Chain A
Amino acid sequence: MIRSLPGLAAFAAGLMGLGIFLALIVAPEDADQGISQRVFYIHVPIALTAYFCFGLGAWKALLLLWRGDERYDLESYVAIHQGTIFGALTLITGSIWARASWDVWWTWGSNQLVLFLVLFLFYCAYFMLRFSLEEGPRRARSSAVYALFGVVLIPVSFLAIRLAEDFIHPTVFTREGPQMTGTMFATFCVSWAAVTLLAYVLYRVELAGKRLDADLRELREVLQ
């Protein structure tokens, strides 16, 4: 089991390389969408990781409100920051896939797309709220409450594809299982693991940087 950050980062890079190789070379071409379906192997794992990061941010926010430990504030903030980065990537890769498959960059007719945009903008506003308040327990609590409100949008956005009536956005995972071949599903699983691990490494790196920054600020105050 790899525990050190450099080891995890190297493993994530290797897994990303394997995922891209499988997605672009090994996985068979989709009969319906052709080569553009290969965006699926990067777009869907990134979207799922964004949901996971937002969920993690809300969970840490709940822990902050529950236990009152301020270290959860920074963890919640970093998780939401990661979620926003992966959310932006979801929108960009989704837009490229839409252009390739539907011949449009964006469509307001798809509930899944619009709800994900709402979720993304909601978490963008989290940063506006956070940086408009002075650092301290009040800011931590206000940010935590906001992060918890946002978590309601995650299942709505996730399930919108099944509730949508337009059927523009494809449904790959149904009650009958994944609607793809074994190789395609294996490629998807490797890509998903790689993107999740990459997000975890970036989360740990950013958190370590922020903690070091805070420690140095405290040290400066003590020395001066």
Chain B
Amino acid sequence: MNWSQAELVAAAYGVVFVFVLVYVAIIAAKLVRLQRETTALLELARGREAAARRDPAAAVEAPNES
């Protein structure tokens, strides 16, 4: 395939742009996963807090069970 010099220059800059774009997309996907995990942990902590309010004695004993 015959590439002109201008096309090759554009390709070099384009490759860098695509790499950065893919990197940002990967980081964004990771951020979504971390957000989901944070929400799950927050729900877990809230559930424990609610359980402790209902039965304070069980909540004090709970750490010893593990």
Q: Do A and B come from one complex?
A: yes
Least CB distance from B3 to A in Å reads 7
Interface string of A81-98 (1 = CB under 8 A from B): 000010011001100110
B20 CB contacts on chain A under 8 angstroms: 198
A24 within 8 A of B: yes
Residues 13-56 of B at the A interface (beta carbon under 8 Å): 13, 15-16, 19-20, 23, 27, 30-31, 34, 37-38, 41, 44-45, 48
B57 CB contacts on chain A under 8 angstroms: none
Least CB distance from B47 to A in Å reads 10
**Cross-chain contact of A93 among B12, B23, B34, B45 (Cβ < 8 A):** B12
Interface of B is mostly: helix
A202 CB contacts on chain B under 8 angstroms: 23
Interface string of A57-93 (1 = CB under 8 A from B): 0000000000000000000000000000100110011
**Cross-chain contact of B8 among A99, A216, A223 (Cβ < 8 A):** A99
The reply to whether A100 and B5 contact each other, CB–CB distance below 8 Å, is yes
Q: How large, as a class, is the contact surface on chain B?
A: 20 to 34
The reply to whether B15 and A39 contact each other, CB–CB distance below 8 Å, is no
B27 CB contacts on chain A under 8 angstroms: 205-206, 209
**Cross-chain contact of A223 among B13, B23, B41 (Cβ < 8 A):** B41
Least CB distance from B26 to A in Å reads 9
**Cross-chain contact of B15 among A24, A93, A224 (Cβ < 8 A):** A93
**Chain B residue with the shortest CB-CB distance to A224:** B44
The reply to whether A36 and B48 contact each other, CB–CB distance below 8 Å, is no
Closest 9 CB pairs of A and B: A100-B8, A96-B12, A39-B12, A36-B5, A93-B12, A35-B5, A100-B5, A38-B9, A223-B44
- Which residues of B come within 8 Å of A, CB atoms? 3, 5-6, 8-9, 11-13, 15-16, 19-20, 23, 27, 30-31, 34, 37-38, 41, 44-45, 48
Interface size in chain A (residues, C-beta < 8 A): 31
The reply to whether B3 and A24 contact each other, CB–CB distance below 8 Å, is no
A109 within 8 A of B: no
**Cross-chain contact of A20 among B6, B13, B41 (Cβ < 8 A):** B13
Residues 27-77 of A at the B interface (beta carbon under 8 Å): 34-36, 38-39, 42-43, 46
The reply to whether A96 and B15 contact each other, CB–CB distance below 8 Å, is yes
A209 with B37: in contact, given A36-B5, A42-B13, A89-B19 (CB under 8 Å)? Answer: no
